[in-house]
Amino acid sequence: MANSRTTAIRGSKPRGQSSLPAAETPEEVSDPTRPRHVVDHALARREAILEIRRTGGFSFRSEDTDPYLLRAAASYGEDTGRNCPICNVTEIVELTYVYSRELGHASGRVINPEKLTSLAPNYGFLSVHTVEVCQGCGWNHALISYMLGDGQPRRTPRKPRDLVE
C-alpha cells in the first residue's frame, strides 16, 4: 500500500515559505541603478562565432531570425559602430529589453538604456537583457543580462481595460 501524503492539500507550502520566486525575494540594495546579478555572455558569443568560422560557413538564414526581433532592431536599435562578426558588412545594432512581473503588460518591451536609471528606483526587480542584432544576415546574440531595482517586490499592476490582447 502506498504511503500517505504529508500535506493534506496538494501544492501547499509549509509556513514561513514565500510564494515569491527566488529572484524576487526582498533584498537590501544600496543603489537601485547599479547592476547586480550580472551575466556576461561574451564567452558564449565568442564560442558561437568561432564555431561558425570553424565549420567554414554561416548556414543561418535571416528567415530563421524572429521577425519581431528584426523589426525591433530596425525601429529601436542603437548603433554600435561595429560590423557584424559573421557577414562583416552590416553594422550591428543593440536592443535592450526589460522584464519584470511588476511591469505587468509592459514587461518584455524594448527600452532606451538611458531611461533605466529613472525607471530602476520605482521598481523592485527589473531584469535587463541586451541583445546585438545584424539586420543583414540575421545574426543575433545576447550580450549581457542583469538586475536593477530597489530590491523590494511590488504588486503586479492591473491590466488596463482598454488593452487589446
Mean per-residue pLDDT of the chain: 80
Which pTM was predicted?
0.76
> What pLDDT digit, counting tens, does each position of 70-85 carry?
999 999 999 999 999 9
Are the beta carbons of 33 and 120 closer than 8 angstroms? Answer: yes
- Measure Cα distances from 69 to 18, 95, 134 in Å: 35, 9, 10
pLDDT at position 80, please?
A: 94
pLDDT at position 149, please?
A: 86
Q: What is the pLDDT confidence band of residue 44, given thresholds at 50, 70 and 90?
A: very high
Of 31 and 88, which is predicted with more confidence? 88
Are the beta carbons of 86 and 59 closer than 8 angstroms? Answer: no
pLDDT at position 155, please?
A: 80
Q: How many other CB atoms are there within 10 angstroms of residue 162's CB atom? A: 5
Helices marked H in the chain: 42-54, 67-76, 116-119
* Residue-range domain boundaries for the chain: 30-54+61-148
> What pLDDT digit, counting tens, does each position of 89-148 carry?
999 999 999 998 888 888 889 999 999 988 888 888 889 999 999 998 888 999 999 999
